[in-house]
Structure 1
Amino acid sequence: MPQKLETLQTYFEDIWVKGDLTAIPRVMAPDARTRGIMGDMPFDADDFTELVSMVRELLGPIQVSYPIVVEQDDWLSALVEIKSQSAETGAPVHVFNQIIARFEGGQMVQINSGVDSLSLFEQLGLLPEDAMAIMLSGNRLN
């Protein structure tokens, strides 16, 4: 298995699935930055640690698969399928994340994440089920 994919799997399996925040330095360089999780706001390792903890509190057990993975030079791109359930209601949760990461020395130094946050929060019951359709029609969520 290519090393970049192994690193990405460790990122998801150890950090997101198992909640092992001590794995962060193994997969992310000390100066690594991630974008896209909350718009264009960059996250450093401390911010990322808080984010993982908050998201994991919302979800039950997490399963991750990688239907598409492409590597080129220092870059890896992957479509990541995430399945879980709401920790509050037990309702199923199924979202996709598009990751594009740049690697140096076996660690990720730049992570661009395009997770479907709107769908995630709809499935968690934190947004109306048809939030996207409501907003596309020009209406506001109240």
Structure 2
Amino acid sequence: MGSKTDLLQGFYDRVWVDGAIDEAGRFFDTSAEASGLMPDLAVGAVEFHEFVAALLEFLEVHRVTFEKTVEQGEWLSVMACFEASVLANGQTITGSGMLMARIVDDRIVEAFNCIDFLGLFEQLGLVPPDALALGMTGHRFQ
């Protein structure tokens, strides 16, 4: 059995970087759900597959690195950064997020995510530049 950090890095490398979405199941317990990817929605295996596939329609992920990791008992917490290319124009983008996962018998049984989707969508051109600053001034996006 490797470390929990190695297991999670293997997941990101295989599923996100290599695009082997169908292999995600080997990293997760069949009852596992991921929270925090979409508001008020816990994502199971089917939804997770669709979530990854949808993002990989926009991006080619080159690298996922862990800036900080903490392992304690069954739990792993990571601050992760990624580098990717936008498929539409080849632009390199970066992003970050945090994950807390409970790992039992080399499988993720619970996952809680916090990802900077606003920053990601801004870099993808899906929301206006400086969307966070504009929103904090009360600007409404139409």
TM-score normalised over the length of structure 1: 0.94
Unaligned runs of 5+ in 2: none
| 8 Å Cα contact 2:97/2:113 also seen in 1 | yes
- Indicate if the aligned counterparts of 1:27 and 1:108 stay in contact, CA closer than 8 A: yes
Displacement of 1:130 in angstroms is 0.9
Indicate the residue corresponding to 2:12 in structure 1. 12
How many residues are treated as equivalent by the alignment? 142
- Does the residue aligned with 1:60 lie in a helix, a strand or coil? strand
RMSD: 1.4
- 1:3-56, CA deviations, whole angstroms, 9 ceiling, x for partnerless residues? 211110121011111111232222100011001111231000000001111101
Residue pair 2:16, 2:61 contacting (<8 A) in 1 also? no
Identity %: 31
Q: How does 1:21-100 map to 2 (within 5 A)?
A: 21-100=21-100
- How far apart are the structure 2 equivalents of 1:61 and 1:95? 11
**Distance apart, 1:2 and its partner CA:** 4.9
Q: Judge conservation of contact 1:92–1:123 (CA < 8 Å) in 2.
A: no
Alignment partner of 1:140: what SS? coil
Q: State the distance in 2 between where 1:6 and 1:23 align.
A: 16
Give a deviation string over 1:74-109, Cα, whole Å, max 9, x none: 100001111112111222211101010011211001
Contact 1:134 1:141 in 2 (8 A): no
Tell me the TM-score normalized by structure 2: 0.94
SS in 1 for 2:29: strand
Structure 1 stretches of 4+ moved >4 Å: none
